[in-house]
């Protein structure tokens, strides 16, 4: 695998993977700071900054940025997460310098023009309004708040109407200068890329970022709790969650396999029991998400308001069954095969590969080989999964519901009995 890595004089990491017989290149700049790096008065500023980066620089207007990348058939986008922010593009091989020039321009010298800031504020307010029309978006914001109350990681990435309405140019500039530093940034590319040429371009265009260290974000402290919204929707959305291993923890892959076995596809336990056998919902799934210092294992389902208590009870029973009896060898083998497939499929997509490399650098400080990742999966055994479920059931439950619940008393009784005795989880 032709992965190459270099470091600029200012500490910025450049990593690339040349992919044979590919004529395009996916390239992006990842910053190791996202919404969790915001101070209380900055809620939503990381996402606002990501939007405003495309709204004009010292050398380009917002229209220039769009026209230049599309004139060569390329595309340009960005995303804000809890732990990171990314700006990325995909272009033909010959247009890599242009893509990097635009990507660097929008974060090195954004203009933050007042008219554009006002217009983009309205766009983000519409994005927040759209999220409030989505029961799935609402329920995940609520469970995040329940799991990590009064903390940056427990707040919505988009911010609120109140916080976004307060932002001025100084807020954006302050966040950028505090968190966009060379040692906290990764330039990643995959596809038709020449590493030496990429490093040379990076030195020219990204060398101005300083070598200062970035402030550490507030620690994530999992607490657990319940949040409920009675906003009217046709279905009741339910998410229950537990504390899970952070992404650097040895049990991170155990949690991924556990999520797959419980709710990772049509053959998973929850899908078979909840949908196929009982018809309680259309879709149900589980996942485990990691942060640098904590994590959350979550199960999401949506069903009729009159059967929400039954849906919750069946999920509880399946989790207790997994803690009592564990998983079969066939279940574990099936999930491992699914995860391996995902890893290998990612190698065939230049955009997925560039993102994978960047995240590995930010998380682990180095690229991880596919062989190493598969070996970590293979090391997970049945007893590891069972022990993890036992510990999760012994941790505080985070519960969020959106929509009506017709039998609230019965639902609450299930919630009260959900956690197994702490002595068994010890």
Q: pLDDT tens, 350-385?
A: 999 999 999 999 999 999 999 999 999 999 999 999
User: What pTM, to 2 d.p., does this model score?
Assistant: 0.93
pLDDT recorded at residue 52:
96
pLDDT recorded at residue 406:
87
Return the percent helix, strand and coil in the chain, to nearest 5: 50, 20, 30
Residues catalogued as catalytic: 50
pLDDT recorded at residue 89:
98
Q: Which of 74, 71, 90 is nearest to 26 (CA)?
A: 90
Distance, CA of 313 to CA of 70 (rounded, Å):
52
What average pLDDT does this structure show over 246-264? Answer: 95
Residue 403 has pLDDT above 50, yes or no: yes
Question: What secondary structure does DSSP assign to 29-48, as a single string?
Answer: EEES--GGG--GGGTTHHHH
pLDDT tens digit string along 50-75? 999 999 999 999 999 999 999 999 99
Q: Where are the beta strands (DSSP E) in 71-171?
A: 75-80, 85-92
Please tell me the CATH code under which domain 3-206 is placed.
3.30.830.10
**Tokens describing residue 423:** 């002595």
**Tokens describing residue 312:** 């919750």
Residue 300 has pLDDT above 90, yes or no: yes
Contact 346, 356 (CB under 8 A): yes
Q: How confident is the model at residue 160 (pLDDT cuts 50, 70, 90)?
A: very high
pLDDT tens digit string along 165-222? 999 999 999 999 999 999 999 999 999 999 999 999 999 999 999 999 888 999 999 9
Q: How confident is the model at residue 413 (pLDDT cuts 50, 70, 90)?
A: confident
Domain locations along the chain: 3-206, 225-425
Distance, CA of 206 to CA of 374 (rounded, Å):
34
Q: What is the CA radius of gyration of the chain?
A: 23
> Do the first three CATH levels of 3-206 and 225-425 match, i.e. the same topology?
yes
Distance, CA of 20 to CA of 13 (rounded, Å):
23
Q: What is the residue-averaged pLDDT of the chain?
A: 94
Superfamily of domain 225-425 in CATH is Metalloenzyme, LuxS/M16 peptidase-like (3.30.830.10)
Distance, CA of 233 to CA of 138 (rounded, Å):
11
Residue 421 has pLDDT above 60, yes or no: no
pLDDT recorded at residue 420:
47
Q: How confident is the model at residue 419 (pLDDT cuts 50, 70, 90)?
A: low
């Amino acid at each position: 695998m032709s992965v190459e890595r270099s470091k600029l004089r200012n500490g910025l990491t450049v990593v690339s993977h040349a992919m044979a017989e590919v004529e395009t290149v996916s390239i992006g700049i990842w910053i190791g700071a996202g919404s969790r790096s915001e101070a209380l008065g900055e809620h939503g500023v990381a996402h606002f900054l990501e939007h405003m980066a495309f709204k004009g620089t010292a050398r380009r207007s917002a229209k220039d940025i769009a026209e230049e990348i599309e004139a060569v058939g390329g595309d340009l986008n960005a995303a804000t997460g809890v732990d990171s922010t990314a700006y990325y593009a995909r272009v033909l091989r010959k247009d890599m310098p242009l893509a990097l020039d635009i990507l660097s321009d929008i974060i090195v010298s954004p203009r933050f023009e007042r008219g554009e800031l006002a217009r983009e504020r309205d766009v983000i307010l519409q994005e927040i309004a759209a999220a409030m029309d989505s029961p799935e978006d609402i329920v995940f914001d609520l469970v995040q708040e329940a799991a990590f109350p009064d903390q940056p990681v427990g707040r919505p990435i988009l911010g609120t109407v109140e916080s976004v309405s307060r932002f001025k140019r100084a807020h954006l500039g302050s966040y950028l200068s505090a968190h966009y530093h060379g040692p906290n940034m990764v330039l990643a590319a995959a596809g038709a890329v020449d590493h030496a040429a990429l490093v040379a371009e990076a030195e020219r265009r990204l060398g101005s970022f300083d070598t200062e260290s970035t402030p550490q974000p507030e620690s994530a402290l999992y607490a657990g709790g319940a949040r409920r919204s009675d906003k009217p929707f046709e279905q009741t959305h339910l998410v229950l969650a537990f504390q899970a291993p952070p992404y650097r923890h040895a049990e991170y892959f155990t949690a991924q396999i556990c999520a797959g076995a419980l709710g990772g596809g049509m053959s998973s336990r929850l899908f078979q029991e909840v949908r196929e056998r009982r018809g309680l919902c259309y879709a149900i799934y589980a996942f485990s998400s990691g942060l640098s210092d904590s994590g959350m294992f979550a199960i999401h389902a949506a069903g009729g308001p009159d059967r929400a208590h039954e849906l919750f009870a069946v999920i509880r029973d399946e989790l207790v069954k997994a803690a009592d009896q564990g998983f079969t060898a066939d279940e574990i083998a099936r999930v491992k095969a699914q995860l391996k497939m995902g890893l290998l499929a990612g190698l065939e997509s230049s955009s997925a590969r560039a993102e994978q490399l960047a995240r590995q650098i930010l998380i682990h400080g180095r690229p991880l080989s596919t062989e190493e990742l598969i070996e970590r999966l293979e090391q997970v055994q049945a007893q590891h999964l069972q022990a993890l479920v036992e510990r999760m059931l012994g941790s505080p439950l985070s519960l969020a519901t959106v929509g009506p619940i017709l039998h609230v008393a019965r639902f609450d009784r299930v919630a009260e009995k959900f956690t197994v005795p702490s002595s068994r989880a010890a």
